[in-house]
Amino acid sequence: MPTTSLPQPVGVAEFFAGIGLMARGLELRGFRVDWANDIEAAKRDLYLANRPDAQKLFHLGDVRDVRGSDMPSAELATASFPCIDLSLAGNRKGLAGTQSGMFWEFARVLEEMGSARPRVTLLENVHGFATSHGGQDLSKALVRMSELGYSSDVIAINARHFVPQSRPRMFVIGVRNDLPKGAHVGVPPLSDVRPPWVRAIFERHPELPMHYLDLPDLPAGPEDLSGVVQRMESGDQRWWDAERTSAFVGSLSERQAARLEALRGGNETTWRTAYRRTRGGVATWEIRADGIAGCLRTTGGGSSKQALVQAGRGQVRCRWMTPLEYARLMGAGGFKTRARTDNQALFGFGDAVVVDVISWIADNYLLPALRPNGVGVSDAV
C-alpha cells in the first residue's frame, strides 16, 4: 500500500484505539497520532509492539476518566466505540448499554475541549448502529454531534472491496465550521457507499446539519483467500486430527456436506472459512459458500472464531485460523501478532478496523476536508 508524506501532518486523537489498525490506516496517509486511549491492556500491548515510540502517547484506562483539559491539540478525533450493545449478535441495549454507551463519554470529552475540539471526527461502528432502537440511537448521536458544532455525513463500506473478508461497517464523519470544498447539503444520491438505508438517514433528519461529499466507486476487491492463507505442511500439528475432522464433517447439514464434497472433489486446492453455530440447541458447523472470510468477530460480539477448511484433490483438512491470517484479513499482514495467547491476538484483530478501508476514507474524505490544497508526495513503501 502506498504511503503519503504530508508537509504538515494531521494530528489525531484516537479514542478506543484497540491494537492500532485505525492508526496504521491513517499513518499510511501522513497523519500523526498524538494521543490514544483504550481500556484493554492486551490491546495496548499489541499497539505498542507495533509502534514502540507510542509509549508516552498511549493512555491505558477508562475513557470516563479522560478530561478535555488533558487532551492535546488535534485536527481529527476517531472513535471506534464498542459495538456489543448495537450489534445484531449482541444484546441490543444500544447507546444505553454500558459498552456502546461510551459514545456519550467521547462526546463529553469533545465538549470539554471547547473551541479546541477537532475540526473533523470519524465514528466507526456496525450497521446495527443505524437500526438500534428503531434508529433512535443514531438520531440521538447525530443530535449530540450537532450540539458540538458538527455537520454529519454517513457512509457504509464493506471491507470485502479491499480484503477477502465480508466486514460491513458504517462511518459517521463530522465536520466543524466550513464544509469541505464540493460538499452538498440535502439527500445524497444512491451509490455503493450510500445504499438506500444510508440515504434514508438523511431523509429522516432534514432538521439536522448534514452534508455529503461525492465519493468514487469502491474497488472490486479479492475473491478468494489465496493471499491470506498461511501455508502449512500436512504434518503441522495445527491441523486437526482425523477424529476432530470427522466430528466437523459429521456436524454438517446435508446442504453443507454436499458443499464440502464438491470442494473435496475439485482438481485444485481451495479454501473456505467455517463458523460453529448452535441450531436448535445443537452445535453445528457452517462453511461459507463463497471464497472469502466471514466477518471476524470477538466472542463478546456473539460469535465464535473462524476455522479454515482446505479441500481439493480428494482431501479435506481443517484447523483454526491463525493470528497471521486474521492480520492479513484486516489489511495488517506486516503487523506483529504475538500476544500472551493466540486468542488475545484474535480478539484484538476481530475488534478492529480494516487498514485499507481507513486509508481509503483518508484519501477520499479526510484529506480533502483537512488538507484541501494538496496532500503531499506519495512514495512506494
Q: What is the pLDDT of residues 293-306, one digit of tens each?
A: 999 987 544 456 89
Instruction: Determine the average pLDDT of the residues in 326-348.
Output: 87
Residue position matching grid coordinates 475439485: 266
pLDDT at 300: 47
pLDDT at 358: 98
pLDDT at 82: 64
The most distant pair of C-alpha atoms in the chain lies apart, rounded to whole Å, by: 66
pLDDT at 99: 58
Q: What is the pLDDT of residues 141-156, one digit of tens each?
A: 999 999 999 999 999 9
| Euclidean distance between CA atoms 50 and 20, whole angstroms | 8
- Provide the pLDDT confidence category of residue 81 given band limits of 50, 70 and 90: confident
The answer, yes or no, to whether residue 266 has pLDDT greater than 90, is yes
Listed range (104-118, 203-217, 281-295) with the worst mean pLDDT: 281-295
- 42: CB partners within 8 A, 6+ apart: 339, 340, 344, 347, 348
The percent of residues above 70 in pLDDT, for the chain, comes to 90
Give the CATH number of domain 3-222+348-379. Answer: 3.40.50.150
Ordered by start, the domain boundaries in the chain are 3-222+348-379, 242-321
| Euclidean distance between CA atoms 245 and 317, whole angstroms | 7
DSSP calls for 68-101: GGGPPP-SEEEE----TTTSTTS---GGGSTTTT
* CA angle (329, 193, 334) in 5-degree steps: 20
pLDDT at 92: 52
The percent of residues above 90 in pLDDT, for the chain, comes to 76
- Provide the pLDDT confidence category of residue 128 given band limits of 50, 70 and 90: confident
pLDDT at 341: 78
Higher pLDDT, 204 or 346: 204
